[in-house]
Amino acid sequence: MSIQTELSSSNAWNLHTRKHISLPIHGKSIVTCLELNVRRDLIITASDDFTIAVYTLSTGQFKFTLTGHEGGIWSLAPVYSDERSLLVSGSTDKTVRIWDLTSGKCLHVFRGHSGTVRCLAVVSLPPVEGDASASRMPVIVTGSRDKSVKVWSIPGNLPNYRMASDEESSADESSSPYHLLTLIGHTDSIRSISAHGHVAVSGSYDCTARIWDIVSGECKRILNGHSEKIYAVVYDPTHDQVYSAGMDGTINVWSATSGLCLRTLIGHTSLIGLLELSSSEPSPYLVSGSADATLKVWEPNTGTLIHTLTTPSVTTSFHHDGKRVLAGGVGMLRMWDIKSGLVVKDLLEGKVSSVWQVAFDGQWGVCAYVEMGSGQSMLDIWDFGGNDSRL
């Protein structure tokens, strides 16, 4: 259902007294990625202008630009520890880079892909059985238009990270000690990666998804069932399930262990390019975004359709925290209450030409968009208030 009724504000979450910051970013270039981290007080944007920009969340203050890529950046993932804040980026220049978010320096360049690095994930491997040492370092899983998935180790020891030498940074995978695996099997571009523990799931334009063991390199399962390209995959380790969606307008729910399709979620009438699972328990939500100008909220374990959220245009980006959904598209940025399906607020009315990216954690909302009239890419930040960031 679609209900165009605004919810009243509460004292803890007040739309009318919010803090709102607006600033120009990346000229008139496309904003391809947006990362929000409240604990680190950071916003990170990436663009097809070959740069990554870092801002202070609470003030909107520009910190620095990360330069070095020789092509547009199409994938980002942070690596946080108590000691360091790092960022991993993938680009059309076929490389993956690691950045220090404190100094703004590029620490390492991974070379080996022969196509755009379209998606990536950073995952902490479980400790080796019988190893009494500290937990394993994270690894990077990258998916490319060259049809391959690669696994890389992060150089050095995270707390004592050293700058890689020029020789190491320029080395290709054949001579790099940090290239662990190349996972071969897909016959078309890799569009989406989702990973947890030793498991990674890749979704491809070859209409299949694959489940990989990123320690052994074994392909555990091939998920056949979609009739057209897969655009999004989500791995849910808690329920041992994989969700996949794409051009055929369906969402398949798979057993990660058996590889069997448990159910197919029907309702969208066009390409599904966006899929996100909230981590809230005991009632997680799966939200899908489609070219049919709707978002759908599903109960992932039963496949029950809970709400259909109608948008004025095709959604280009959305994010939800299990309580609210923030979504943007051509001429719109809208928020819903996920449990009721009610519209909370239309934001940026009359100001936005098209939304590039959104990020949302409950208290904070961030949107990168094209400003109406000027064509300038803008970054808007809202602090909706409240002490509980889960609101």
Give the model's pLDDT for residue 16.
56
Size of the chain, expressed as the number of residues it contains:
391
Q: Is residue 19 part of a domain?
A: no
Q: Is residue 173 part of a domain?
A: yes
* Distance of alpha carbon 325 from alpha carbon 94, whole angstroms: 33
- pLDDT single digits (tens) 324-343: 999 999 999 999 999 999 99
Asked whether residue 15 carries a pLDDT value surpassing 60, the answer given is no
Q: Is residue 165 part of a domain?
A: yes
Q: Show the 3-state SS of 325-340.
A: EEEEEECEEEEEECCC
Q: Which residues, listed in sequence order, are joined to residue 302 by a DSSP beta bridge? A: none
Closest CA to 381 of 361, 367, 362, 363: 367
Q: Is residue 15 part of a domain?
A: no
* Distance of alpha carbon 233 from alpha carbon 208, whole angstroms: 10
Q: Is residue 277 part of a domain?
A: yes
Helix (H) / strand (E) containing 62: strand 62-66
pTM: predicted TM-score of the whole model, two decimal places: 0.89
- pLDDT single digits (tens) 209-250: 999 999 999 999 999 999 999 999 999 999 999 999 999 999
* Burial class for 114, CB neighbours closer than 10 Å (0-12, 13-18, 19+): exposed
Rg (CA), the chain: 20
* Distance of alpha carbon 388 from alpha carbon 386, whole angstroms: 6
Domain count, the chain: 1
Domain with residue 120: its CATH number is: 2.130.10.10
CA atoms within 13 A on the CB side of 328: 24
- pLDDT single digits (tens) 32-62: 999 999 989 999 999 999 999 999 999 999 9
Helix (H) / strand (E) containing 170: helix 166-170
Whether the Cβ atoms of residue 329 and residue 314 lie closer than 8 Å to each other: yes
Whether the Cβ atoms of residue 363 and residue 391 lie closer than 8 Å to each other: yes
Q: What's the pLDDT band for 125 if we cut at 50, 70, 90? A: confident
Q: Is residue 143 part of a domain?
A: yes
Structural domain range at position 140: 32-324
First vs last C-alpha separation in the chain: 23
Whether the Cβ atoms of residue 270 and residue 249 lie closer than 8 Å to each other: yes
Q: Is residue 270 part of a domain?
A: yes
Q: Is residue 382 part of a domain?
A: no
Helix (H) / strand (E) containing 127: none
* Distance of alpha carbon 173 from alpha carbon 114, whole angstroms: 11
